[in-house]
Amino acid sequence: MFFAQAILALHVLIIAFNVAGLVVIPLGAWLGWRIVRIAWLRLLHLALLAVVAGQALDGRACILTIWQNDLSGAGPTTTPLIMGWVDHLIYRNLPLWVFAVIYSLVFLYVLLLTMLVPFGRRSLRQ
């Protein structure tokens, strides 16, 4: 059970990192924050979102969700963690393809941010 909780904690941290990046990168570029220009952080953000979008487009749940369910004894599932959260928040059972589209659009947004807020350069505002 400890390992299942550790994977869940890691999963939540990755989700928070990905979601925060969607807001912090454009805001930080506008405010001139150096942290949003650090290449390895941005590449990590891009890579994590590529994995999320790729798994969703392949019709599979996140590997962390599968591992956490296996370790907790919940058994195999095809419902991604975020999909479960959204189901509980809005009480709607959306098909997996809707999440695949959302994740793909988010990934394309991050690709656009990579072009608009390049690594290692100072903002135009300074």
The DSSP line for 2-48 is HHHHHHHHHHHHHHHHHHHHHHHHHHHHHHT-GGGG-HHHHHHHHHH
Helices 81-90 + 96-116 axis angle, to 10: 110
Query: Is the pTM value of this prediction over 0.85?
Result: no
Res. 80 pLDDT band, cuts 50 70 90: low
Reported confidence tier of residue 73, pLDDT bands at 50, 70, 90: confident
* Model confidence pLDDT, tens digit, residues 43-68: 999 999 999 999 989 988 888 888 88
